[in-house]
């Protein structure tokens, strides 16, 4: 049958739309009508552009708007200050101000500067900069390209990201959607993240890009971009494609999903900020140099195709099948001495000052830690793509021992569903003698094709070796199946 393709002319910028109160990045909609009026500040308040900058053309795109930050002040026809009190979101410490000490242009760059001062009680107080293009440069679909250099320092958190013009169209975050083009943590500046948030329940999908050879995003400028289309988003750094997403949703918890591609079928705007502290990066410490706490943005350019096909369909989820013996864990007996640095089956990961190595040999996975790191997940071994069906019961079993008495935590998490726990974080006490550990759990959340088994060995007060073997996750009953014989089939039918 011939498809009836419906196309939408790309929505331009600079409209005046009713905007809801943003809650932040735990702000973290959708009118599809064209924005039809230009809103600019009076000419005398706009920055003067002292030089003409040649902006490159992109094949298949038209340049929608751009800012090269060549003026002597921030261009208030493109950006506005976004002041907020400390603690506005994510337990962050900074006050976002309208001061030119926190937001200014210098040498053709926009600079967002974090400043450490003292309050009236002598306590540390932080100010910083956040600007946004809401109701000035709103648009729906396009390619956003930004070149920036991040600051280095514990507790610093620069971001280039997007929120909907009208957050209330689908509801407050995360139902409204969020597009994070770039986030970097100041204590790990070789790593950048591209993420989308949606839901509810809160879903997120995150890509990670790591520089090699000692290079960092604080050493020099790098280009970050996202291609946002009706049924797909693609993330790039320095032209390298590293993350694709096409299976988001928006819903009120317990209700049916809104028609795809909600919530990303409405106008969004770009914003730039430098946060201080918060639940993700942690707070600054004595090593953080606020003299150098500057987030520099060289340019922001937004391109748009002449038209976009909006007749898109959400991809069907791919549910991994269990092995013949019913085990959802692949290579759970460690018969294959597989590589542990790829996306297939087992993966060894290090974060936040964790150091170590992992090896499979003679049917045993051995993790050797050199530094425990600052987080429980600083040293971890994981296996993802585990199908978790709502209403089903599961059993996890594994053998473990350690070179000396120590602890680790095990869980089944949801990396694309807000990192909730299907199996709660469970403390495992190990000794040099092999022990068998067994845990049962019931999956009572929305069906998820991407559960993840985690063994976390960071921040446990020990770097003793850990040995694991015979890992197994099996479904012991489906939604309507006490015996469990046809549980997986029934669960998949229920998911559909």
Active site residues: 178, 183
Q: Which helix (H) or strand (E) holds 423?
A: strand 421-430
Q: Give dist(CA 309, CA 286) in Å, integer.
A: 52
**Residue 55 φ/ψ, nearest 5 degrees:** -95, 125
Residue 7 token pair: 């196309």
Question: What does the alpha-carbon distance between residue 2 and residue 67 come to, in Å, rounded to a whole number?
Answer: 43
Residue with tokens 């991809």: 315
CA 80 to chain centre: 25
Q: Is 262 exposed, middle or buried (0-12, 13-18, 19+ CB in 10 A)?
A: buried
Is the distance from CB of 204 to CB of 416 less than 8 angstroms? yes
Q: Tell me the C-alpha distance between 237 and 281, whole Å.
A: 21
Spatial CB neighbours of 347, under 8 Å, sequence gap ≥ 6: 340, 341, 381, 382, 383, 384
Please state, in angstroms and rounded to a whole number, the distance separating the CA atoms of residues 299 and 67: 6
For 202, 325, 480, 484, 488, the CA distances from 477, given in Å and listed in that order, are 26, 15, 8, 4, 8
Collapsing DSSP to helix, strand or coil, 286 comes out as: coil
DSSP one-letter string for 197-243: EEBTTTEEEEEEEE--TT--TTTS-EEEEEEEETTEEEEEETTEEEE
Strands 94-96 and 124-128: parallel
User: Can you read off the two tokens belonging to residue 374?
Assistant: 């600052």
Tell me the three state secondary structure of residue 292.
helix
Q: Is the peptide bond before 8 cis (omega within 30 degrees of 0)?
A: no
Q: How does DSSP assign 37-65, residue by residue?
A: ------GGGSPPB-S--PPPP-TT-EEEE
Q: Distance between CA 376 and CA 259 in Å, rounded?
A: 38
């Amino acid at each position: 049958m011939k498809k009836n393709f419906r196309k939408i002319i790309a929505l331009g910028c600079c409209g005046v739309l009713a905007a809801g109160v943003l809650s932040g990045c735990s702000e973290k909609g959708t009118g599809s009508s064209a924005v039809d009026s230009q809103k600019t500040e009076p000419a005398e308040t706009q920055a003067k552009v002292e030089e003409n900058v040649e902006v490159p053309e992109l094949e298949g795109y038209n340049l929608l708007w751009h800012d090269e930050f060549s003026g002597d002040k921030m261009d208030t026809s493109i950006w506005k200050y976004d002041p907020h009190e400390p603690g506005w979101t994510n337990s962050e410490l900074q006050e976002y101000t309208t001061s030119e000490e926190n937001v200014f242009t210098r040498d053709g760059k926009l600079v967002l500067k974090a400043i450490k001062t003292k309050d009236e009680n002598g306590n540390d107080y932080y100010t910083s900069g956040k600007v946004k293009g809401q109701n000035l440069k709103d648009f729906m679909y396009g390619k956003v390209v930004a070149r920036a250099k991040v600051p280095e320092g514990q507790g610093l958190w620069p971001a280039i990201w997007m929120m909907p013009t009208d957050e209330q169209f689908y509801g407050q975050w995360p139902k409204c959607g969020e597009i994070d083009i770039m986030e970097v943590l100041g204590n790990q500046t070789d790593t950048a993240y591209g993420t989308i948030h949606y839901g509810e329940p809160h879903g997120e999908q995150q890509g990670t890009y790591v520089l090699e050879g000692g290079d960092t995003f604080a050493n020099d400028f790098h280009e970050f971009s996202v291609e946002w289309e009706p049924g797909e988003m693609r993330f790039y750094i320095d032209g390298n494609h590293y993350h694709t997403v096409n299976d988001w949703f928006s819903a009120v918890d317990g209700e049916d999903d809104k028609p795809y591609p909600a919530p990303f079928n409405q106008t969004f705007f770009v914003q730039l900020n430098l946060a201080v502290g918060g639940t993700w990066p942690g707070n600054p410490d004595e090593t953080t140099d606020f003299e150098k706490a500057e987030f520099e943005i060289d340019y922001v350019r937004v391109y748009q195709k002449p038209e976009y096909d909006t007749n898109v369909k959400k991809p069907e989820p791919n549910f991994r099948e269990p092995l013949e013996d019913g085990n959802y864990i692949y290579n759970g007996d460690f018969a294959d001495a597989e590589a542990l640095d790829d996306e297939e089956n087992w993966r060894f990961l290090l974060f936040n000052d964790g150091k170590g190595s992992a090896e499979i040999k003679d049917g045993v996975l051995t993790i050797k830690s050199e530094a425990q790191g600052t987080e429980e997940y600083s040293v971890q071994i994981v296996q993802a793509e585990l199908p978790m069906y709502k209403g089903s019961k599961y059993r996890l079993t594994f053998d473990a021992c350690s070179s000396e008495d120590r602890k680790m935590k095990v869980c089944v998490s949801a990396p694309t569903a807000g990192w909730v726990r299907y199996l709660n974080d469970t403390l495992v006490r190990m000794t040099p003698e092999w022990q068998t550990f067994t845990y049962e759990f019931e999956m009572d959340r929305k069906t998820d094709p991407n559960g993840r088994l985690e063994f976390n060995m960071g921040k446990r007060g020990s770097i003793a070796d850990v040995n694991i073997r015979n890992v197994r996750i099996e479904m012991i009953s489906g939604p309507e199946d006490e015996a469990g014989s046809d549980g997986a089939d029934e669960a998949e039918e229920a998911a559909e």
